[in-house]
Structures are given as structure tokens and as C-alpha cells.
Structure 1
């Protein structure tokens, strides 16, 4: 038996509860993982807050999509992207619900080896945000010599995108609250405060222009400023403002309506990300950790919108 977090109804975090569930022997192409850390993402609470509908037939909902842990059993043909998986392997993976648990079965095809240099917390939290960050740079073609504006550069996706862009030789200007500016400077990013006058502040920093812009916050300000500063609209990408992307002629990335899912790019992003993490060339901020059974409190913290990094559940 394992402890798992489920949503028993639609509503706020109060609908989350811990239950005991069976973990059967893994079937063909599956492995059993003892969970060491599970990441909390906004997508998780949007599954039960009504964002994606309130179909009672889907209840109860198993919660969580990203985790790290140790393989305790393997089914036949348990082969992951890096090769055969064995009992005792330290791994990370994504699942379609169920990561908030002490143990679970997962598809071997998604199970990736965890480098020993990478902590359980960071391993659990890098996949979704990291793959999204890699996709934004690929979609906008950011490379050496470019000047790129990243909206929300201190956020979970934005901070990784900013660091990767700097590593690729780009000049990065990033919007963030003043309290996060020093951290951005440590990444080699030139910080700028968002809010009224943003266009003028960015122009003052980059009088020769902005080559590309990446929006990770979805505000009208982020889209409007990007449109005003970047002449080549296909080099503007958003992971949030799906409603405006088609009208504005910019790229929408991810799972929103009309967006490019970047399936292949995201599926292979782990190779670059884990290599950089192992070499300590990529910083991922863990804002807070909570015991698994305090998932509701963790969700409330993330819902406030000012976590300043990843939030992790520890079984």
C-alpha cells in the first residue's frame, strides 16, 4: 500500500485528502518507484479548481505530474530513454496524475536516470519548467549575439530560460520585481522592473533594439511591450497569453489552444538540463518544501503567485 493525495471534489485546496492506495506489481513497460520528491505545479490545482471543467465522472483525481525516486520493481521490457531500467536506479519522471504519493507505477518510456549530483527536489522539479524553457529558446531561435527580453525572468520557467540564453551567448534583459534583481544579476541577466514605463526602461538598456522576446507571465503589458520592441513577430513567444497570440501573430507554446506543443523538443530537453545541473551550471531555486500530507498548504502557497521558486512535496 502507498499513501496518495487525491481531489475528492472540485473547489479549492480543501478538496485534497490523503488516502491509501494499492501499488500492483508493474506490468510490461512499467516500473514501480518509491517517491522521494514530487513537484507542485499550477497545472495541478487547475485540474480541480474548475479551469479544465468539473466533470464528476473524473473524480477522484490523483494529483501530481512530476517526481523523483528510486526504482523498487520493474516489469518486462522496462526500457527508458537512456536504456534498460533496473531495481535501485535513482530516477525522475513525469506521470499523468499520481506523483503525489509515497510510491506508484510509471511508464518506463518516460523514466530518466537521475545524476548523483542532482538533489531529489531539483530532479523532481526540472522536467516541466525546464523543457518549457528549452522550447521557448528553440522557438524564438535565441543564440549568440542576440538581445532577448524575458518577461518573468525570476519565475520558474523564466529563470531557466534566462540562464540557458546567457549560456548560449545571448544578452538577456529580464523583467522581475526589484527584490529578485540581485539573483538575476548573478545569472548574467540585466534586470528591469515591470510596470508603467517598461518600454522606455528596456529601450534605455538596449538602444539598438531587441531581437526576441519570451513571455512567461501572460500579462497584456508583456505582450504589448514585446510587440512594440521586437520587429520580427515570429521571434516573440508566449507560454501563457494564448488568447492574444493568434491575433498578434506571435508564437504560442505548450498545451493551450492553437499552441505548438514542441513534443520532440520537450521530450529531449532533459539531456541538456541534467548535464548543466550536474556541472552546477544551472540554478533551480527551491522556494519551499512541505510534507506530502500538507499538499493543500503547498497549493495555497503556490496559488498566491509569489513563491519565488519551485515548491516540493516530500513523502
Structure 2
């Protein structure tokens, strides 16, 4: 038997239980990973309270919590040569990551992504890359961001936003990021030009000396999408990670699942060369999952919330 954090009914986070389940069996073409860290994303707790959203991710109750993980391979099936016991790995799994052990196919597919963890990052950092890093990368790919663009990023100081700002700067784009005024200095350190979010966003952009916006990425609500349309940004240069309510016709959504292995290579190289800093806002033990999730839900932290498993 092993412990796992999972829910058997939809609702609030009170549905989550750290409980005993059967140890997973390793089948042909699979490996077993002893999980050491799980990072939290908004989608993790939003899905618990939204059966319609859960359906999009193939949730079948009972469902283990979380998608991002890092850990160590502790068992392989016969014939597996790509991984060996003791290898550090990280990635995402739609089957749920918050468990002492998880089973993964050796070959990544639409529901699982696995990457060997390089020596220059910790498991906590590795566990933060799968959803947030790849979602940020796909946002840039969707709008074909380049060095000629000035991009408006909504929710620029959040978990995905921190990656998006830095990756956009690496591409040479000029970045304007929305946040609360108390976060302006933080965004400036990332290389973004901050502007206050809210009802006055359009007016603020029109009244400042900000350059013409040529692209937009909305990571928090549809406000930036609507403002970008008002400013005449072409629809193909606008994207959002917020699927509900439905976006205006012609605006594409972006998800981490659509990013590529090459995108992850770019992220890892940027971390190694110190062009990209992965910020861990707070770490919690998995037993303190309720406090960890509530901290992430408040959305006042700069960077990722990580739960560790001993």
C-alpha cells in the first residue's frame, strides 16, 4: 500500500484526502517513479470544482490530485532501456501526480510527459516546469511571438506569467505585464514593463507612452483579450489559457500539452545559462496540502508552490 492525495467527488478542496491506495503495478513499457515533489497549478484545484473542465482532462473518479511531478525511477519493466533505477525524472501525468509512487509509460503520449532531470536543477524546480513552463512556451508559439513584437501579458506575475515574461524576453520581444501596483518592482526585475490590471487597463495603455501592442497573452481572465481587440491587435496574435467562459471567435487557447520536446530543451538551456529563473515561492510537506493549495488559490505569491514527499 502507498499514500496518495485524491478526491472521489467533485466540490471544494475539502474533497481531498491523503489516503492509502493499492501500490501500482508496473506493466510492459512502463516505469515506476517514487515522487519527491509536486507543484500546484490553478487547473489542479479548479478541476475539482468543475466537472465540465474535468471532462476535458479525462478525469475519472477517484482521481489523484495534481499533474506536475519530479522523482526517482525505482522500478522498470523488462526490456526498458531508456531509463534505469535511480534516474531522476520529471514531467506531467493526467493520471495524477500527488502520490508516493506513480506509473508512467516510457514513451511520452498525450496524457504523460517524462523528461530526465538534469543535474543543474533541483527536484522542486523540475516539478515546476511541466505545466507552467510548457504552457508559457505554447502561448508564445501560438501567437508566433518574435523580436518585432510588443506583447501585453495579463497575469504576468503568476506561475505561468513568470515563465512567459522571461521566455518572451529571450525571444527579444518587448513585454508589458499586468499586475497589482505592489508587484511592479518584481515585474521590472523580470524585464517587463508593469501596468495595473483592472477596468482602467485600456485607458491606462492609451494614456501612457507605451508602444503599440502587437500581441497579447491572457493568463488570468479575458480582460487582456478584450483590451487587445479594442487596440486592434490581430486575432491570430492573441491567445489565452482561460477556456471558460468561451473566448471570442477566432481567439485560440494555449495549453502545455501542445508544447514540444524542443520547447522543454529551450527552457532547460535557458535555466542552465541563467537566462530564466524558476521562482519557488513556498514549499510545503504533502501532509500540509490544504494550506499549500489555499496559498496557491490566493494568487498573491510570486512563483510556484511546491509540495514535497519524504
Same fold (TM over 0.5): yes
Compute the RMSD of aligned alpha carbons: 2.3
Report the counterpart of residue 263 of structure 2 in structure 1.
Answer: 269
**Matched residues in 1 for 2:281 and 2:303: separation?**
5
Match of 1:191 among 165, 189, 194: 194
Of stretches 299-308 and 169-178 in structure 1, the one that deviates more from structure 2 is 299-308
Q: Does residue 1:85 correspond to 2:83, yes or no?
A: yes
Q: What residue ranges of structure 2 are gaps of 5+ in the alignment? A: 108-112
Q: Is the CA contact (8 Å cut-off) linking 1:34 and 1:104 kept in structure 2?
A: yes
Of stretches 156-165 and 16-25 in structure 1, the one that deviates more from structure 2 is 16-25
Of stretches 15-24 and 144-153 in structure 1, the one that deviates more from structure 2 is 15-24
TM-superposition CA deviations, 1:103-162 (whole Å, max 9, x none): 222222232111111111110011111111111111111111221111111111122111
Q: Is the CA contact (8 Å cut-off) linking 1:291 and 1:313 kept in structure 2?
A: yes
**Matched residues in 2 for 1:88 and 1:66: separation?**
19
Q: Is the CA contact (8 Å cut-off) linking 1:203 and 1:209 kept in structure 2?
A: no
Where in structure 2 are the equivalents of 1:12-31 lying within 5 Å? 12-31=12-31
Q: Helix, strand or coil for the counterpart of 1:19?
A: strand
Q: Does residue 1:115 correspond to 2:141, yes or no?
A: no
**Matched residues in 2 for 1:39 and 1:20: separation?**
21
Report the counterpart of residue 102 of structure 2 in structure 1.
Answer: 104
Q: Does residue 1:174 correspond to 2:195, yes or no?
A: no
Q: Helix, strand or coil for the counterpart of 1:245?
A: coil
Report the counterpart of residue 110 of structure 2 in structure 1.
Answer: none
1:236: Cα distance to partner? 1.1
Where in structure 2 are the equivalents of 1:1-315 lying within 5 Å? 1-52=1-52, 58-78=60-80, 84-109=82-107, 110-206=113-209, 208-219=211-222, 221-240=223-242, 242-247=244-249, 249-254=250-255, 263=258, 265-315=259-309
Q: TM-score, normalised by structure 1?
A: 0.87
Q: Helix, strand or coil for the counterpart of 2:52?
A: coil
Q: Is the CA contact (8 Å cut-off) linking 1:23 and 1:105 kept in structure 2?
A: no
Q: Helix, strand or coil for the counterpart of 1:33?
A: strand
**Matched residues in 1 for 2:257 and 2:19: separation?**
35
Q: Helix, strand or coil for the counterpart of 1:39?
A: strand
TM-superposition CA deviations, 1:194-249 (whole Å, max 9, x none): 12432233245555511111111113x322211122432211111115545343x3
**Matched residues in 2 for 1:54 and 1:26: separation?**
26
Q: Helix, strand or coil for the counterpart of 1:111?
A: strand
**Matched residues in 1 for 2:115 and 2:284: separation?**
24
Of stretches 69-78 and 126-135 in structure 1, the one that deviates more from structure 2 is 69-78
1:306: Cα distance to partner? 2.6
1:164: Cα distance to partner? 0.8
Q: What residue ranges of structure 1 are gaps of 5+ in the alignment? A: 255-260
Q: Is the CA contact (8 Å cut-off) linking 2:216 and 2:224 kept in structure 1?
A: no
Q: Helix, strand or coil for the counterpart of 1:52?
A: helix
